[in-house]
Every structure is written in C-alpha cells, then in structure tokens.
Amino acid sequence: MEDLENEIKDLKEWKKIEKKLEKNFKFIDFVEAFGFVTKIALIAEKMNHHPDIKITYNSVEIELTTHDINGISRNDVTLARKIDELL
C-alpha cells in the first residue's frame, strides 16, 4: 500500500480527494477538449477501466477510482499516467 501511495504522489497535478484521483485540464475550445476525451475513452476501453469525465466547454475534469475496492488502485495510477502522456 505504501508503494501505491508513493506512485500517487509522483503523479503530476493529480489530487487525491477521499477515495479518488482528480485532475482538471484546460483546452483552447470544446473541440480540443472533446478530442482529448475521445483519446481517453479509447485507452480506458482497452484497459477496461473507465473514468468519470465531465466536459464543460474547454475544461475536462477527470475522476479515477476503482469501484470494486471503493478506492484507488494501480489501474487508476496507470490510467492517470496514460492520460498525462496524451498531452
């Protein structure tokens, strides 16, 4: 569990809030934000690990949690890293 906590701390700009990892992303416009979310959807589907996503015009809010364990798992950390690699 300590290793997972260290991995979470190493994530850039992701916040651990209760039992979730959260991060907000800003883009030029809605099309760019939606394109980013589409890329996330393809990765999430391959991993069979789906984030909660909210799009508000040029802003994308991501929440990652593993519902099966009611908390943060390695899958969440892995997906967070893959999302950051898209930028």
Contacts of 87 by beta carbon, 8 Å cutoff, 6+ apart = 25
Q: For residue range 22-65, list pLDDT tens digits in order.
A: 999 999 999 999 999 999 999 999 999 999 999 999 999 999 99
Which uninterrupted H or E stretch holds 32? Answer: helix 30-47
Among 78, 87, 45, 40, CA closest to 62: 40
The helix-helix angle for 74-85 and 2-10 (nearest 10°) equals 20
Domain span at residue 62?
A: 2-85
Please report, for the domain that includes residue 15, its CATH number: 3.30.1360.20
Q: How many domains does the chain have?
A: 1
Give pLDDT, residue 1: 65
